Structure 1
Amino acid sequence: MKKHLIFDLDGTLIDSAPSILEGYDQAFKTTDTPLQVPLRSDVIGPPLIESLKILSGSDDDALLQALAEAFKQHYDSSGYLKSVVFSGVSELLQQLHGAGYQLYIATNKRLYPTEKIIRHLQWEPLFQDVFALDYFQPALSRKSDMIGRIVQDLALPVEECLYIGDRLEDGLAADAQQMDFVLVTWGYAADAAQKKPHWQSCTAVGDLPALIAGNQGIQS
């Protein structure tokens, strides 16, 4: 039985695209840096520096750090407040928590704004813990390593865990730890066409509880 449900955040539980894209726009304008690719939701998901490399077309560390600081200044102070919960998600989390599932978040977003978002949404009582790449010291570089550390540090039986996310990276991170995975397609789902045959998918928030309850013998 799946007892431990690990959720991605952006594109899975919340639509953070408007707030993040606004933060990127502000960062590039305040540093007078030209964008090399359009600001679209498909740049959301990777860690901040990786996204800034794509948007700037540069590996220059000084430039990337300047962009990152400009982004953080806007997003961490007010931008995060514009994150929108996908319809039905708050009710979903309440339902799963009430049914006795242990809920966690594992996100590429930095821990500081993630925790601010969770407090703002009053979701703190629903989650056992919230994990980000920089939750760990030294910070991890890949989501697959984060999923592995969660399982290891909390001594969770992997067969009792289910990772739920909206991107190819999420599924591959679960696969790396031999964890079952559900790809949700109500968010960004930019990688949905690359869905692996052994992954399950869910197109509607309201369908997820039944799918989770039926996850007794999926093999990753």
Structure 2
Amino acid sequence: MAQFTHIIFDLDGTLTDNTQGIINSLKYAFDRMQIDDYPEDKLNDFIGPPLQWGFSQLFGLSERNTRLAVEFFREYYSENGWHQNVPYDGIPEMMAELDRLGKRMYIATSKFEKFAVRIMEHFEMDKYILQVKGADYKGEKANKTQIITDLLQMQQLAPSEEIVMVGDTLFDMEGGKQNGLSTIAVAYGFGKEHELKAAQPDFYAEDVEELYELLIR
């Protein structure tokens, strides 16, 4: 196993549990659009992927309605949803120790970048992060693979097994692999176990403690 010198974290479902904020923002968007027949079992699947993908693929909205739904979602999220959020137990302590050990850490998220920065600052974890790379406002660069590619280019990092992508969804694992990085899937987030394992991550962490042990080797 290579020693990880650079660590790229996903945000929702990996560092913080933003379930309540995202679900409330989603319900607000549907309420504003007077949509009340959406499938409840799809709500949790919405967490993780880009907003545009979720509204169109999970809920079948047209391109126009997807744009409108994203606007309403962000309207609620910018005021209330972003702080209806909490770091997973042990995450702040893990980040502090990784920083002490000299690990270089980044965020690659499909969340609108401004919100991701605000969340990291709110929990005072921004001091450990060299760069937060998120989606642009229009969602034209919300694909996780592209976000990771852009981050690597901006940091002038070449693909390496010493750089690891840590995330809780299939999108994180695909994004890491397609950029030539090592991958760690975390089981405590929003991803489905069978999808994560089918993506064949290099490592699999059941909890934050296991993740920490993988990252400090």
Q: TM-score, normalized by length of structure 2?
A: 0.89
Distance in 1, Cα, partners of 2:110 & 2:158: 23
Q: Secondary structure at the match of 1:36?
A: coil
State the partner residue of 2:212: 209
Deviations 1:63-114 (A, max 9, x none): 2222222111111112111111111111111111111101100000011211
Change (3 A) 1:131 1:40: same
Distance 1:86 1:198 in 2: 21
Residue of structure 2 equivalent to 1:53: 56
Aligned partner of 1:132 in structure 2 is 134
Indicate the percent of aligned positions where both proteins have the same amino acid.
Answer: 26
Which residue is 1:146 aligned to? 147
Deviates more, 1:153-162 or 1:94-103: 153-162
2:70 equivalent in structure 1: 68
1:13 aligned partner: 15
Contact 2:8–2:107, Cα closer than 8 Å, also in 1 = yes
Equivalent position of 2:47 in the other structure = 44
Partner of 2:173: 171
Per-residue CA shift, 1:132-177, capped at 9, x if unaligned? Answer: 1328x99424211221222222112422311100111111111101
Aligned length: 212
Distance in 2 between residues matched to 1:185 and 1:198, nearest whole Å: 12
Any unmatched runs of 5+ in structure 1? 215-220
Q: Which moved more, 1:105-114 or 1:25-34?
A: 25-34
Would you say the 8 A contact 1:36–1:55 is kept in 2? no
Cα distance in structure 1, aligned partners of 2:214 and 2:94: 12
1:7 touches 1:165 (CA, 8 Å); kept in 2?
yes
Q: How far apart are 1:2 and its partner, in Å?
A: 1.6
Alignment check: 8 A CA contact 1:37 1:54 kept: no
User: Within 2, Cα distance between the matches of 1:37 and 1:45?
Assistant: 18
CA distance in structure 2 between the partners assigned to 1:138 and 1:88 by the alignment: 31
Please name the residue that 2:159 is paired with.
158
Which sections of structure 2, spanning at least 5 residues, go unmatched? none
1:28 and 1:35 in contact (8 A); partners too: no
User: How far did residue 193 of structure 1 move?
Assistant: 4.4
- Are positions 1:23 and 2:6 aligned together? no
Note closer, same or farther for the CA distance 1:192–1:129 as it changes in structure 2 (3 Å cut): farther
In 1, distance between residues paired with 2:195 and 2:62? 29
Q: What is the distance in 2 between the residues matched to 1:73 and 1:123?
A: 25
SS in 1 for 2:111: coil
Alpha-carbon spacing, 1:184–1:164, altered in 2? closer, same or farther (3 Å): same
Q: 1:118 to 1:29 in 2, by over 3 A?
A: same
| Aligned equivalents of 1:174, 1:139: Cα separation in 2 | 19
